[in-house]
A and B are shown apart, each in its own frame.
Chain A
Amino acid sequence: EAGVAQSPRYKIIEKRQSVAFWCNPISGHATLYWYQQILGQGPKLLIQFQNNGVVDDSQLPKDRFSAERLKGVDSTLKIQPAKLEDSAVYLCASSFSPDPGNTIYFGEGSWLTVV
Chain B
Amino acid sequence: KQEVTQIPAALSVPEGENLVLNCSFTDSAIYNLQWFRQDPGKGLTSLLLIQSSQREQTSGRLNASLDKSSGRSTLYIAASQPGDSATYLCAVFYNQGGKLIFGQGTELSVKP
Contact = CB atoms under 8 A, between A and B. Distances in A.
Interface residues on A, range: 20 to 34
Interface string A36-71: 000011111100100000011000000000000000
Contacts, number: 52
A42 to B, nearest CB: 3
Nearest to B10: A40
A101 B9 CA distance: 28
Interface of B is mostly: strand
Interface residues of B, number: 22
Interface stretch (A11-19, A78-86, A105-113): A105-113
A56 B51 CA distance: 23
Interface of B: 4, 9, 31-32, 41-46, 49, 51, 89, 91, 93, 98-100, 102-105
Interface of A: 4, 40-45, 48, 55-56, 91, 93, 98, 100-101, 103-109, 111
